[in-house]
Amino acid sequence: MLMIEILPGKCDFCGCCVGVCPEDAIELKEAEIRIIEELCTNCCKCVWSCPFETLKFNKKETTRLEFES
């Protein structure tokens, strides 16, 4: 169950989250980001490393897994 969500409109596509993800569960393109649900373990390292407060941990299931600008 995925409990991390990508808040809309905040992502700057910098790649900090991808760099710290131990599971290779985040895909980043020029202006697109996506959490790969099957790989994510909700470890939250991406949340702690995001400079712009884009990623958020919720105590319930989330559905916002992507953002495209």
Partner 1 sequence: MKAEYDVIVVGAGPAGSMAARFAAEKGVSVLILEKDRDVGYPVRCGEAVSKAGIEEFLRPDPKWIASSIDKFSLISPDGSEVIIQFSETGYILERRVFDYELAKMAASCGAEILTRAYVSGLITEGGRVTGVKYQFRGEEKQLRAKVVIAADGVESRLGRWAGLKTYVDFRDMESCAQVTASNIKVDPNTCYFYFGKDVAPEGYLWVFPKGNCSANIGLGVSGLTGKKRSAVSYLNSFMEKNFPDAPTLTSIAGGVPCSVTLERISAPGIMLTGDAARQVNPLSGGGIISGMIGGSIAGRIAAEAVISNKPDYIMTYDKAWNDRLGRRHEIFNRIKNGIYNFSDEKFDSIAHSFLKVSKDKRTLGSLFRTALFNQPSLLLDVAKVFLG
By three-state DSSP, how is residue 34 classified?
strand
Closer by beta carbon to partner 1, 7 or else 63:
7
The CB-of-51 to partner 1 minimum distance in angstroms stands at: 4
Cβ-proximal residues to 65 (8 Å cutoff; 6+ apart), any chain: 2, 5, 6, 34, 35, 37
Closer by beta carbon to partner 1, 8 or else 15:
15
Closer by beta carbon to partner 1, 39 or else 63:
39
Residue type, position 28, single letter: L
The CB-of-16 to partner 1 minimum distance in angstroms stands at: 3
